[in-house]
Amino acid sequence: MASGAPGGGISKWIPNPPQRGSFPLDHDKECSVIMQDYLRCLKLVDGTNAHGCRLLAKSYLKCRMNHGLMEQDEWRNLGLPEDDKPLPLRKIPEYGEQKKLSSDSKSGTSGSGSGSVTTATTFTYHQIKTTMSTLAPVIAPSILSGDFADLAADSKKMLDRTADWLHIDVMDGHFVPNLTFGAPVVKALRAHIPKGSAFFDCHMMVSNPLQWVPDMAAAGADQYTFHLEAARTSTFGESSSAADPVIATIEAIREKGMLVGIAIKPGTSVDELLPYADKIDLALVMTVEPGFGGQKFMADMMTKVAALRKQFPKLNVEVDGGLGADTIDVAAEAGANVIVAGTSVYKAKDPEEMIKLLRSHVAEKL
């Protein structure tokens, strides 16, 4: 019989944890903020022993100790492994960190009998941060700049070099004058990079975004970012109760369990995106004309980024095109926290150092 405790095995990391959605008003305000993030983490992983949740739990317990709400002996009596030291207050894991941990065994009964099922899932801290109260800097190398003959190995190298996401540019040759890869390639990459071990940020430069939602979900996409310009005329798929085709596309993506992003071309006003910004997970501002890598960064697009950040302070705002050491500051200053970098990372003498440089500049501005 499955445990009824919130978060399953994770709940043991905090003595008498409150129910999900509650707010521990009797604790110090700083500790309460950490607790909120911890509860969101529990909801996200649904009982799986995720490394990020454990780190949040330790931060919360350390906070309690710092404010005299918990004794050192109480910490030691929790029975955590020796390597689970309390984190300094508010410290978070290094960005890009990935760890695979086995979940608790879950006992259950079914019509055919009873048994025990054990699963293992990998969570990056950024997957957990998608539900947190604080934005995180995200560096997403575009595999469009990689070696097409060896994409899986090339993508793994980027992850090993601390990339947070993999940015996958899907082009159909109609919406943009270039043809790249589609769902079959994404599925092939997933065979080498399992779901959960890396976040696939799929930028859909296609003329009919509704058409590809089911295929991309089945292929293993984590986030489906479609172009506002294309969605307005998108008609493929099952009928929707939404009169607005953009809303219909958002709903279709949600139904398939993916995060939702909307992208706009340089010639599209940000005012056209704003009505949808509270319904999505990410807004992508193109800083080059979409279709090809290696183009020059358009600094005048930063007014769009600034407008989005001002009105939606917790929204992931992504910029794509011409980002590198010479342009990262203006993008970060405007409010972009998700950086797509192709040539600047792949052609760098030391890609890992370039990724860390870009991340540090964004982190300074958040």
CA–CA distance, 169 with 202 (Å, rounded to integer):
6
Annotated active-site residue in 172, 201, 222, 320: 320
Between the CA of residue 162 and those of 7, 85, 106, 298, 325, what are the distances in Å? 28, 23, 33, 27, 17
Residue 225: which H helix or E strand, with range?
strand 223-227
| 350 flagged as catalytic | no
Query: Which residues, including other chains, have CB under 8 Å from residue 265's CB and lie 6 or more apart?
Result: 227, 229, 286, 289, 290
Across the beta sheet with 338-341, what order do the strands follow?
138-141, 338-341, 316-320, 282-286, 259-264, 223-227, 199-205, 165-171
Q: Which residues contact 39 (CB under 8 A, 6 or more apart)?
A: 18, 20, 21, 22
356: left (phi over 0), alpha (psi -120 to 50) or beta: alpha
Distance of CA 106 to the CA centre of its chain: 27
Angle, vertex CA 230, rays to CA 213 and CA 183, nearest 5: 30
Closest to 348 in 3D by CA, of 328, 325, 331, 366: 325
The DSSP string of 297-360 is P-GGGHHHHHHHHHH-TTSEEEEESS-STTTHHHHHHHT--EEEESHHHHTSSSHHHHHHHHHH
244 catalytic? Reply is no
Q: Which of 37, 169, 172, 222 is catalytic?
A: 169
**Burial annotation 191-210 (CB, 10 A radius, 16+ → b, else e):** eebeebbbbbbbbbbbbbbb
Instruction: Determine the Cα–Cα distance for residues 139 and 96; give it in Å rounded to an integer.
Output: 9
Residues catalogued as catalytic = 169, 320
